[in-house]
Each structure stands twice: as C-alpha cells, then as structure tokens.
C-alpha cells in the first residue's frame, strides 16, 4: 500500500490514509513515540479492545500487528468525516441539529456503548472527534486512551491526553469511572448537538430532562445503564428505533442561538 496523507493525530498515534494498487483506501493507525513503554501498552490495549468489539457502530479493525516496537492496525477509511466536522459545518451555517437528528445519533451511540459495557469495556473519552461516519451511521473510535484520562495523569505527563470538557467529574478528579461516566459524556454530546455548545439550553423539556439526568454531577443521580438512556430516547417518539438515522439529513434547523465559531472552538478544546 502507498501512503497518501495524514488524516489526524491523537494522544497515542497517527492515522494515515493508504491506497492499494487496486485503488482501495484504508486508514492505518501507528503508534507515536514507539520507545515509550507506557504508550506501547496503551496502544496494544486499544487494538485488543477494537478487535474484539464487533458492532455496526464501532470502528472495525481489519488487520493489526502488535508483535514489534511499532504496532499498527488497519481500519476502513470512513470518508464521511467525524461528528466534530459535521457539527462545525452546521454551526458555521448558523444551524443546529433538530431533536430528531440529534436523538437518532445519540441512540445509535448509546446502543454501541451498551454493547461495549456488556463486555465490561468503558470508553471514557466520548466526544465528537471520536465519532466517525459511514454514510449516515456514526461509529465510535479511539478505545485505548480513555482509561488514562484524569487530572493527575494529564498534570503529570503534560501531554494533553483526552479532553477535560467531556470528562465526568469522578473520572477527572479521581480517575474512577464506570458506564455512568460514558453516560455523562454522551449527555454532553447530546446537548451540544441541540444547542451548539456544551452548556446551551435545550428548548424541548423532555429532552432537557433526559440530558440533565445523563449529566448529573453525581453518578448516582444519572441513568445507571445505557439501556435506560435508550429507553428514555425511545419514549420521546421522536425517532424510529429501527431506523434512528432516517431523518438525519432533514434533521437540521436554522437557529439564531448558536455561539460564534471562535468562542466555540476556544471552549471545546479547553484541557
């Protein structure tokens, strides 16, 4: 395969676009700082998790190698971009997602996370950058870093691992997390899709009540399992749970409530 270009960099690795002689394109993630033993173990953990989590809304691992000092894995090339890119594009046009559009995305993500949680796997780093699109369907990526995101880790390593803005309070303060931490982060994404910011006011009271419960500061005050989130979204009767993304492209509405792009960027990438 021939390397075409860099698609992005994260806390552990670099993702590049490769193309075969037949014209097929794939995304290949390789580890940064291969001499770092801690990074090496984290990266291998990410590969192991993704290779074993088989779900339509979780990024697939097609091939991998962890037997050398420079581990790598191959994924399909999801050319429809990330949720962050879609959100920024929509906001730049003065729009936000409708309740149908946002609820469809969140339902799919909740279903994928429920699948992972059933295997005892917590993502811990749910944010729009880690959600890719295959057509209309969202897929969750980057499963290796979240376990290590907390205040002590980031302060000590000073490498900016993870994003504080989406991190649950208990994970950030103490490095302790469970499925309710993913519920918290997903709730913030839900709010952001509907308002353009992490703190915006959701006009639909029913959805606002769901998001408030997802993002309660105390884990005990949140939904306790992701399937409870799925049931709550289903009860809205906003979406077809058999086709949650049916109204995705139609589910964008014009609004005057979106904050300026520069302000949004500065808040989203606070560490």
The residues annotated with a catalytic role in the active site are 125
From the list 254, 266, 53, the residue with the least C-alpha distance to 142 is: 53
What are the φ/ψ torsions at residue 18 (nearest 5 degrees)?
Answer: -120, 150
Please, are residues 119 and 126 in contact by the beta-carbon 8 Å criterion?
no
Token pair for 169: 């309070």
Please tell me the distance from the alpha carbon of residue 28 to that of residue 51, in angstroms, as a whole number.
14
Query: Helix (H) and strand (E) counts for the chain?
Result: 9, 9
């Amino acid at each position: 395969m021939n390397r075409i270009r860099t698609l992005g960099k994260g806390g552990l690795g670099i993702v590049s676009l490769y193309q075969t002689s037949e014209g097929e394109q794939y995304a290949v993630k390789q580890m940064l700082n291969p001499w770092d033993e801690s990074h090496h173990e984290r990266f291998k953990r990410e590969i192991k998790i993704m290779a074993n989590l088989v779900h339509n809304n979780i990024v697939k691992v097609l091939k991998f190698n962890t037997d050398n000092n420079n581990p790598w894995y191959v994924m399909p090339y999801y050319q429809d971009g990330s949720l962050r890119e879609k959100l920024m594009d929509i906001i730049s046009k003065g729009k936000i997602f409708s309740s149908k559009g946002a609820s469809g995305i969140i339902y799919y993500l909740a279903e994928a996370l429920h699948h992972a949680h059933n295997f005892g796997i917590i993502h811990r780093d749910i944010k729009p950058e880690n959600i890719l699109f295959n057509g209309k369907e969202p897929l969750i990526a980057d499963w290796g870093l979240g376990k290590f995101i907390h205040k002590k880790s980031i302060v000590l390593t000073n490498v900016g691992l993870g994003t504080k803005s989406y991190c649950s309070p208990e994970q950030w303060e103490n490095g302790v997390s469970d499925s309710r931490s993913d519920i918290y982060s997903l709730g913030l994404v839900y709010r952001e899709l509907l308002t353009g910011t992490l703190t915006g006011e959701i006009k639909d009271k029913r959805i606002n009540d769901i998001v408030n419960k997802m993002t309660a500061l105390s884990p005990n005050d949140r939904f306790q399992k992701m399937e409870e989130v799925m049931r709550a979204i289903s009860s809205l009767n906003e979406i077809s749970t058999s086709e949650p993304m049916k109204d995705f492209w139609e589910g964008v509405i014009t609004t005057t409530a979106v904050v300026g792009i520069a302000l949004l960027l500065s808040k989203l990438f606070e560490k």
